[in-house]
C-alpha cells in the first residue's frame, strides 16, 4: 500500500479489480483503460481502513450469490451502483489507484515482491492471507461466487461515502 491517505478528511481513489489481472503481468496491458476490467471510486481517507475488513453475506436459500460489505451497512437498494468489473478468477480485490498505476507501469519498486497468482490464490483459499498484508498490494481480496463479474456499490450518508459493497449479482459485461 502506498499510505497516501491522510487523516485530515482527504479522499483517495481505489480500484476494484480481479486480483489475477493485477498479479499476472501479461494481463495488465490496457487494464486502466478498460472499464470492464475495473471500477474506480473515490472514498474518504477515514474509510480506507474499513476496506480491509469485508464481511461476506451469502444469498438466501438456493441463491448461490454473495456480497461483501465494508464500512457502514444497509440494504443493497440503499446503495448506488458505481460499476462492474470482470472476475474471471472467481475473486474481487480492492487496491489503491496509485499502487495499481505503479504496478501497471512496471515500476520495479511496485512489482518487487508481488506474489505469484497461484500462491496468492492458494493463500486466499486456505485462509492464510489477511488484509492489509505486506505480502499483497491489495487492501482486500475475496471470493465472488458463481459470477463472471462483480457489481460495486457505494453507500452515502449526508453526501459522504460511508460504505461499499461488492456483489456477485452483476449483469453480463
- Taking only the tens place, the pLDDT of each residue in 63-111 is 557 889 999 999 878 999 999 998 989 999 999 999 999 998 888 888 8
Measure the CA–CA gap between 48 and 44, rounded to whole angstroms. 7
Mean pLDDT of the chain: 86
Q: How confident is the model at residue 1 (pLDDT cuts 50, 70, 90)?
A: very low
- Asked whether residue 4 is assigned to any structural domain, the reply reads no
- What range does the domain containing 16 cover? 11-167
Q: How confident is the model at residue 52 (pLDDT cuts 50, 70, 90)?
A: very high
> Is 108 contained in some domain?
yes
- Check whether 160 has a pLDDT greater than 70: yes
Give the SS3 label for residue 11: strand
Is residue 150 in some structural domain? yes
Task: Work out how many domains the chain is built from and give that number.
Answer: 1
**DSSP secondary structure code for residue 78 in this structure:** G
Q: Is the pTM of this model over 0.85?
A: yes
The verdict on residue 2 lying in a domain is no
Q: Is residue 160 part of a domain?
A: yes
- Domain assignment of residue 173, yes or no: no
Q: 3-class SS at 143?
A: strand
What does the pLDDT read at residue 66? Answer: 82
Give domain status of residue 1, yes or no: no
Q: Is residue 91 part of a domain?
A: yes
> Are 106 and 26 spatial neighbours (Cβ–Cβ below 8 Å)?
no
Whether 34 shows a pLDDT value over 50: the answer reads yes
| pLDDT band with cut points at 50, 70 and 90 for residue 4 | very low
CB-CB contact of 59 with 167 (8 Å): no
Mean pLDDT for 106-131 is 89
Amino acid at each position: 500500500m502506498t499510505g497516501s491517505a491522510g487523516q485530515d478528511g482527504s479522499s483517495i481513489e481505489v480500484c476494484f479489480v480481479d486480483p489475477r489481472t493485477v498479479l499476472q503481468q501479461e494481463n495488465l496491458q490496457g487494464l486502466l483503460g478498460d472499464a470492464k476490467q475495473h471500477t474506480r471510486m473515490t472514498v474518504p481517507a477515514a474509510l480506507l481502513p474499513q476496506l480491509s475488513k469485508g464481511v461476506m453475506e451469502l444469498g438466501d436459500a438456493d441463491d448461490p450469490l454473495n456480497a461483501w460489505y465494508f464500512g457502514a451497512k444497509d440494504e443493497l437498494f440503499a446503495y448506488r451502483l458505481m460499476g462492474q468489473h470482470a472476475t474471471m478468477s472467481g475473486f474481487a480485490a480492492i487496491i489503491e489507484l496509485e499502487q495499481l498505476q505503479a504496478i501497471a507501469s512496471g515500476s520495479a519498486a511496485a512489482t518487487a515482491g508481488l506474489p505469484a497468482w497461484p500462491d496468492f490464490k492458494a493463500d486466499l483459499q486456505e485462509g492464510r492471507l489477511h488484509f492489509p498484508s505486506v505480502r499483497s498490494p491489495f487492501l482486500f481480496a475475496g471470493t465472488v461466487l458463481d459470477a463472471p463479474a462483480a457489481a460495486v456499490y457505494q453507500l452515502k450518508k449526508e453526501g459522504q461515502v460511508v460504505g461499499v459493497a461488492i456483489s456477485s449479482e452483476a449483469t453480463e459485461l
